[in-house]
Structure 1
Amino acid sequence: MAAAGGSVLNQVAEALGASEPALKLILSIFLGYPLALFQRYFLYKKEPSHIHLFNTVTGLGIAYFNFGSQLYHSLLCVVLNFLILRLMGRTITAVLTSFCFQMGYLLCGYYYTATENYDIKWTMPQCVLTLKLIGLTFDYYDGGKEQESLTEEQKRFAVPGVPSLIEVCGFSYYYGGFLVGPQFSMCSYLKLVRGELTDVPGQRPNSIGPAMNRLCLGLFSLVIYTVFGPHLPDSYFLTDEFANQPFWYRCAYIPIWGKVILYKYVTCWLVTEGVCILSGLGYNGKDDTGRAQWDACANMKVWQFETTPLFTGTISSFNINTNAWVARYIFKRLRFLGNKAISQAAALFFLAIWHGLHSGYFICFSLEFLIVIVERQAVELIRDSPLLSHICSIPLLRPVIYVLQQCIHWLFMGYPLIPFCLFTWDKWLKVYMSVYFIGHVFFLLLLFALPYLRRVLVPRKDKQKSQ
């Protein structure tokens, strides 16, 4: 029966132009909607242990459907992390042990399963689980500290009680976030189980409308990727046909490809966000007008992603919960270093190695670090220069400047994605050579030119005072 089912799925996948693992993944993500409806109408305000058991069993079922017996990897990490919490308690030793074990296990998985292509395998949900379990250990550690020593953010996520094994399993395998995220805290999960994440206290949340909204956006992104993705394959970069195209064509292909390729991730995140909203996990309190907010599990700010002309704007609107996790548990925890640039570089290094061991990930995030530094300097220059500020404020020039910004923005947003998607140095190096390292040259020139331009265009304070 399993073989026949696999054969049918394989035939359907081939008809759709996809792989069987990709079809299983998308089916599993959409399966979250009937599961969330079941939890809403049959488990809301029921015994917490029943809800934990439901989330554990459904999550394990999804893991088995996608990865078969390899689900033991996640189960082993969940159980061992629970034992770390219980045996080591609220200590820095527990935090370091959890961090080293979970990251070490993930990196070993990357090493032993690595290929030169993007494969959907057990390491995909494992990387999501790794952050979840490390974050739980940090929050459990914070729960044992004096309240005065914690920041407001740490107080919000600190776990005061001792989680049971069934709680840790339910938290880890919750069907709305097991495969591709989003990240959420144990505190949020326990509030969901207790029925506290609702805009109407004591009743089921009015979340069906907001959930359907994200589902529709996810389906729209899926259509875009399905229609245009096959015409813009990563492999085209490595063909002689691409290498023989005019230089302008090669440069134009990069931003268009980069924009479309991201819709693959946008689709998954929007669909899973809808599942979280439907179950109630997406509830984020009410705004100043009393309107319910459903963005607690948002991994995308769609409008900002589509309209921002800034690199930092795109970064802050994309994979939000993962970026927030890294900021909370890596960047801010390195505050003792006393250097923001070092902390930021360490956070980006962690992101790179968390994605995998291929050189492409490290090149991608190092380029992102360079781009962010240059953009911040450019924004500060425009802000502080009377001449540039005046030019940018002219109403007739604003549309022209915006279009120019978007062209530069997407050319150099797609540029770091090349190594991210091609993985190995021989592939991404070939592509960068074909466009003469235009991104590297552009941003390195700006990095050295912006300080000089600042001296020329920004009046010195002593001159301003004398005037």
Structure 2
Amino acid sequence: MGRTITAVLTTFCFQMAYLLAGYYYTATGNYDIKWTMPHCVLTLKLIGLTIDYYDGGKDQKSLSSEQQKYAIRAVPSLLEVAGFSYFYGAFLVGPQFSMNHYMKLVQGQLTDLPGKIPNSSVPALRRLSLGLVYLVGYTLLSQHITEDYLLTDDYENRSFWFRCTYMLVWGKVVLYKYVACWLVTEGVCILTGLGFHGLDELGRAKWDTCANMKVWLFETDPRFTGTIASFNINTNAWVARYFFKRLKFLGNKQLSQGLSLLFLSLWHGLHSGYLVCFQMEFLIVIVERQAASLIQDSPALSSLASVRVLQPLYYLVQQTIHWLFMGYSMTAFCLFTWDKWLKVYKAVYFLGHVFFLSLLFTLPYVRKAMVPRKEKLKKME
């Protein structure tokens, strides 16, 4: 098909149809480790490869700087495509990387010691060690804090505050298995040189190209957008580069974001829980941005937010809300089927939906009341 939009659309449809057919015929109601897990990683790789090849046939000036960086000018060989697709450090759980970056590794360019193998053992072992800390933590905690307990009568009969607290703690713990996997695989990528990201201003090597986690941001940021920015970074970057930005022609950022999250939901699987989880993410991000904008533009709220003695209290409240509703969203993601996540949501009275939908509809009225007209006029200018 060559460097045509037909090739892009055909590849996208074929890869997604093959993956979704795999989900349909093999999925159960539990967390399954089978061929579809590495294949979902491969699906994104091959779609991205075709789009980069398509961009390679365009005039350089018509491409953005990002597209120019990833565009493939030459036709890759079958061996190069196979190496890119099945690179042992990333084919199981990621991270995503481009063909051009992989070819730099093959050509020996990704090293802090020109002409020699990279001096990357120490940074690789650091990520491995951190990954093992999370792995041990998850192994120990997951024996006592499980999603199965959410479905028990004992959980349902406990007090409302216990149910919410358990959901908060469980939501934090369940993410550690992903953190552990990504940190270990990042260590592999660093060791081979694939993680090399040039030198900083002091001449020190940076090894974060394949980083799928910003651990400090993940653990400390009290905002949902902070967690999104720190979690599964390369997959999010892939969706932004090959899906979200390609929907610019729609002329609506929120619509593009919603369609991107819908794509991510289908990419994860056909269970209704994935759709509910990403729908909650979409809702939460919109409300969080509305709230942040309101606090910034309202003199009274801005002044209250800047009181230093109250900062620890604000942080505690934010983190509690953050991780409670992260757990609420992950409930649907991890329980998969509607009968399971619906049972748990009923037990907490659909708290997440009620809380954020209420804010979505009330914050515009609060803004009208608390933001002076001159501030509104400034925004319009």
TM-score, normalising length from structure 2? 0.98
For residues 408-445 of structure 1, give each alpha carbon's deviation from its aligned partner in whole angstroms, at most 9, with x where no partner exists. Answer: 11001111100100000000000000000011110011
Instruction: Name which of 155, 166, 179 aligns with 2:92.
Output: 179
> What is the rounded CA distance, in whole Å, between the counterparts of 2:85 and 2:256 in structure 1?
28
Contact 2:20 2:270 in 1 (8 A): yes
The runs of at least 4 consecutive aligned structure 1 residues that moved more than 4 Å come to: 462-465
Matched, 1:313 2:223: no
Q: How does 1:225-240 map to 2 (within 5 A)?
A: 225-240=138-153
- 1:287 CA displacement: 2.4
Per the alignment, in what secondary structure is the counterpart of residue 231 of structure 1?
coil
Residue 60 of structure 2 corresponds to 147
- 1:288 CA displacement: 2.9
Instruction: Name which of 198, 201, 218 aligns with 2:131.
Output: 218
Per the alignment, in what secondary structure is the counterpart of residue 276 of structure 1?
helix
Relative to structure 2, which stretch is displaced further, 432-441 or 204-213? 204-213
Per the alignment, in what secondary structure is the counterpart of residue 73 of structure 2?
coil
Between structures 1 and 2, the one with greater helix share? 1
Instruction: Name which of 175, 179, 186 aligns with 1:266.
Output: 179
Instruction: Name which of 30, 33, 39 aligns with 1:126.
Output: 39
> What is the rounded CA distance, in whole Å, between the counterparts of 1:94 and 1:389 in structure 2?
51
Matched, 1:391 2:273: no
Matched, 1:244 2:157: yes
Residue 163 of structure 1 corresponds to 76
Identity in percent: 70
Q: How does 1:49-448 map to 2 (within 5 A)?
A: 88-448=1-361
Contact 2:328 2:352 in 1 (8 A): yes
> What is the rounded CA distance, in whole Å, between the counterparts of 2:113 and 2:61 in structure 1?
32
- 1:225 CA displacement: 0.1
**Counterpart of 1:233 in structure 2: which amino acid?**
T
For residues 380-400 of structure 1, give each alpha carbon's deviation from its aligned partner in whole angstroms, at most 9, with x where no partner exists. Answer: 011111111111111101111
Per the alignment, in what secondary structure is the counterpart of residue 396 of structure 1?
helix
**Counterpart of 1:116 in structure 2: which amino acid?**
G
- 1:463 CA displacement: 9.2
TM-score, normalising length from structure 1? 0.80
Structure showing greater radius of gyration is 1
Per the alignment, in what secondary structure is the counterpart of residue 450 of structure 1?
helix
- 1:462 CA displacement: 7.7
> What is the rounded CA distance, in whole Å, between the counterparts of 1:188 and 1:145 in structure 2?
20
Number of residue pairs matched by the alignment: 378
Per the alignment, in what secondary structure is the counterpart of residue 285 of structure 1?
coil
Residue 74 of structure 1 corresponds to none
- 1:464 CA displacement: 8.7
Structure 2 gaps, min length 5: none
> What is the rounded CA distance, in whole Å, between the counterparts of 1:289 and 1:152 in structure 2?
26
Contact 2:297 2:375 in 1 (8 A): no
**Counterpart of 1:414 in structure 2: which amino acid?**
G
For residues 117-144 of structure 1, give each alpha carbon's deviation from its aligned partner in whole angstroms, at most 9, with x where no partner exists. Answer: 0110000000000000000000011111
**Counterpart of 2:257 in structure 1: which amino acid?**
Q
> What is the rounded CA distance, in whole Å, between the counterparts of 1:262 and 1:213 in structure 2?
20
**Counterpart of 2:115 in structure 1: which amino acid?**
G
> What is the rounded CA distance, in whole Å, between the counterparts of 2:74 and 2:305 in structure 1?
54
Structure 1 109/464 Cα, relative in aligned 2: closer, same or farther at 3 Å?
Answer: closer
Structure 1 462/103 Cα, relative in aligned 2: closer, same or farther at 3 Å?
Answer: closer
Per the alignment, in what secondary structure is the counterpart of residue 206 of structure 1?
coil
Structure 1 gaps, min length 5: 1-87
**Counterpart of 1:109 in structure 2: which amino acid?**
G
- 1:329 CA displacement: 0.4
Per the alignment, in what secondary structure is the counterpart of residue 397 of structure 1?
helix
**Counterpart of 1:378 in structure 2: which amino acid?**
A
Contact 2:195 2:207 in 1 (8 A): yes
- 1:456 CA displacement: 1.3
Residue 459 of structure 1 corresponds to 372
